[in-house]
Amino acid sequence: MFLLISYDIANNKRLPKVAKLMERYGERVQYSVFECLLTPSQLAELQRKLRRLIDEQEDSVRFYRLCEDCRQDIIIIGDGEITQGDEYYIA
């Protein structure tokens, strides 16, 4: 499945840990926004790992699942490409 995942991390110690984890699962398209191609089990694993890293009272991680039709309608103005078939998952 294709997901757009964004985060807002309040603490500067947690922020690089979240960013490093996200880089293992997808491609950064903005400072705190990633495009990810994940299986359901990879998504569950990522969510479990994020829950251990973040403070749910201060931080926020949002997952937007985009259907294939929606993905085809993505418009980019300026530099960038839509993440294609390569999976970025690293165990």
Domain containing 13 — which CATH number? 3.30.70.240
Note whether residue 90 is domain-resident. no
Q: What is the pLDDT of residue 70?
A: 73
Note whether residue 84 is domain-resident. no
Q: Is the pTM of this model over 0.75?
A: yes
C-alpha span between 25 and 89 (Å, rounded): 4
Note down the domain range covering 49.
2-72
Q: What is the pLDDT of residue 46?
A: 98
Note whether residue 77 is domain-resident. no
Residues 6+ apart with CB under 8 A from 27: 34, 35, 36, 83, 88
Q: At what angle do helices 40-53 and 14-25 cross, to 10 degrees?
A: 170
Note whether residue 89 is domain-resident. no
Number of domains in the chain: 1
User: Tens of pLDDT along the chain (91 residues)?
Assistant: 999 999 999 999 999 999 999 999 999 999 999 999 999 999 999 999 999 999 999 999 999 998 777 777 777 777 667 767 655 444 4
Note whether residue 83 is domain-resident. no
Note whether residue 82 is domain-resident. no
Q: What is the pLDDT of residue 51?
A: 97
Q: What is the pLDDT of residue 88?
A: 47
